[in-house]
A and B are shown apart, each in its own frame.
Chain A
Amino acid sequence: MTDYLPGTAGLIEDIDKKHLVVLRDGRTLIGILRAIDQFANLVLHQTVERIHVDGFFGDIPRGIFVVRGENVALFGEVDLENENRGNLQEVSVEEILELHQQVTARKDELERRKSRAMRERGLIPHQDVPDDLYF
């Protein structure tokens, strides 16, 4: 085991391994880490965008991603042995997008009613669609 490398230098151990990245906007990307720098800007190869809805997920192939480090919420190596152990079922891209659209439509409707209720009571509702879930 190498000595502890401070900051983002330790990421160099992770190169050429499969990683999962969650962005601040909530997106999940899975790809092979190819390059890093001190800002934790990442280059992911053979990337897949995974959409989760309830107990289902779908993978959309996306090619090469260059992610700006400040947009990463979470990032970790995928355990290849236990990768498929969960109770999640993979479905096709069309299906997951359909499910996702239904869920988001329901959530949007709920948010709209909440915002209206707040406005009626003289309160300012928060932004409709948050770009950044962590701000």
Chain B
Amino acid sequence: MLPLSLLKTAVNHPMLVELKNGETYNGHLVNCDNWMNLQLREVICTSRDGDHFWRMNECYVRGSTIKYLRIPDEVIDMVKEENTARMKAAKNRNRDQNNRNNRGGGRGGNRGGGRGGNRGGGRGGGRGGYNNQR
């Protein structure tokens, strides 16, 4: 998994962002993008020395100013669940596609117009994409 996709999964979770200047922003992640720009809500900003605090409803942090983020442990468990769910869904999708393709190509003897179309489509579908079966 990529760090930025982990961040995407952490949307709606609380997190701590420390900027390069040492300020920390504690809040819930609303959104993030490919440059690590963040939108947070219910934010508490703490100065570098820990002496000053500001509270704001929303804030936007430019990715280039970030030093690091700390996110809650549950996010990584969510990621693992998401991965297994996605792999299962992909496997099911492939299985259904293969069944449909085989049905068209398996009955090779029939030369009906519709069937012929299926056969062509099925075999084309099987060979299509990037399945290198050398």
Contact = CB atoms under 8 A, between A and B. Distances in A.
Contacts of A41: 3-4, 36
A50 B1 CA distance: 26
B85 to A, nearest CB: 18
B1 A64 contact: no
A66 B68 contact: yes
B20 interface: yes
B6 A35 contact: yes
B3 A43 contact: yes
Interface string B66-87: 1111111101100000000000
B3 A36 contact: yes
A23 B3 contact: no
Given A43-B6, A65-B68, A132 B76 contact: no
B71 A37 contact: no
Contacts, number: 59
Given A23-B67, A23-B68, A71-B68, A63 B3 contact: no
A42 interface: yes
Contacts of B63: 68
A112 to B, nearest CB: 15
Given A66-B7, A131-B22, A35 B71 contact: no
Contacts of B1: 34-35, 43
A45 B67 contact: no
Given A35-B1, A68-B67, 5 more contacts: A42-B3, A63-B73, A64-B73, A66-B70, A71-B20
B71 A68 contact: no
A63 B70 contact: yes
Contacts of B4: 37, 41
Among A42, A64, A65, A67, chain B packs the most CB atoms within 10 A around the CB of A64
A63 B2 contact: no
10 contacts: A23-B68, A36-B2, A37-B2, A41-B4, A41-B36, A43-B3, A65-B70, A66-B6, A66-B7, A71-B20
